[in-house]
Amino acid sequence: MCGRFTLQISPELLAEIFGLLEMPVFPARYNIAPTQQVAVIRSTADGRNRLDFLRWGLIPSWAKDPSIGSRMINARCETVHEKPAFRHAIKFRRCIVVASGFFEWLQEESRKVPLYVHLKDGSPMCFAGLWDHWKSSEGETIESCTILTTSSNKLIAPLHDRMPVILHREEHRLWLNREVTDPEKLKQLYQAYPADLMEIYPVSPLVNSPRNDLPELIKPIVP
């Protein structure tokens, strides 16, 4: 699964990758947790990409209250086309959740050791995501999102059987294309990212608390 991730990407790089007309402004984040705001790329009606900030944990438009979102931070790619919470969004409301890396935990005898996963070349991780729009009876509006997961590659498998669906740069256009509404055309994107392009190392247990959001959280430590 994906339950904690980071975002330290230069606005210039993000604008170049996604062809953004406006230079995004956002702080570096070192411990993004569910229900917090995350950076997402969505395609507009005129085919351009834009950066928005959505709540992490998808709240379906039909939900009675937003608390369901805390249980919807991930969506399994194998069933996303069938689940009531996601089957509309997978057709019409896809997005890319932008990250620099994510955390996993290794279970040892009496403790869990936090590990940081990122791409070896330092490029952004672009998670396949879905979003939805929820409105309360009082008029409160929340836009929220979820991250798709797939079976883990050999690097992540010893830690967890699921990992985020990480899109290659050449796959961004298809995922964000609003004219593609046939889920079958998207299944080719649900492959585990190649393990040899990723790197993992142990980090400080300070990451265990979402209250901590510091650069020190992604510094390697000696096991």
Confidence (pLDDT) at 109: 82
Please report where in the chains the tokens 């979102």 appear, as a residue: 69
User: How far apart are the C-alpha atoms of 177 and 182, rounded to whole Å?
Assistant: 11
Angle subtended at Cα 59 by Cα 70 and Cα 90, rounded to the nearest 5 degrees: 115
**Which DSSP helix (H) or strand (E) runs through 16?**
helix 11-18
User: How far apart are the C-alpha atoms of 169 and 17, rounded to whole Å?
Assistant: 8
Question: pLDDT tier at 19 (50, 70, 90 boundaries)?
Answer: very high
User: How far apart are the C-alpha atoms of 150 and 162, rounded to whole Å?
Assistant: 6
- Per-residue pLDDT, averaged over 59-77, amounts to 94
DSSP 205: G
User: How far apart are the C-alpha atoms of 71 and 73, rounded to whole Å?
Assistant: 6
pLDDT at residue 1 tops 80: no
- Give the tens place of pLDDT for each residue, 82-136: 999 999 999 999 999 999 999 999 988 888 999 999 999 999 999 999 999 999 8
By annotation, the residues acting in catalysis are 2, 104
Q: Share the mean pLDDT of the chain.
A: 95
Question: pLDDT tier at 201 (50, 70, 90 boundaries)?
Answer: very high
The CA–CA distances, whole Å, from 32 to 2, 99, 131, 188 equal 11, 10, 17, 28
Question: pLDDT tier at 223 (50, 70, 90 boundaries)?
Answer: low
- Per-residue pLDDT, averaged over 10-39, amounts to 93
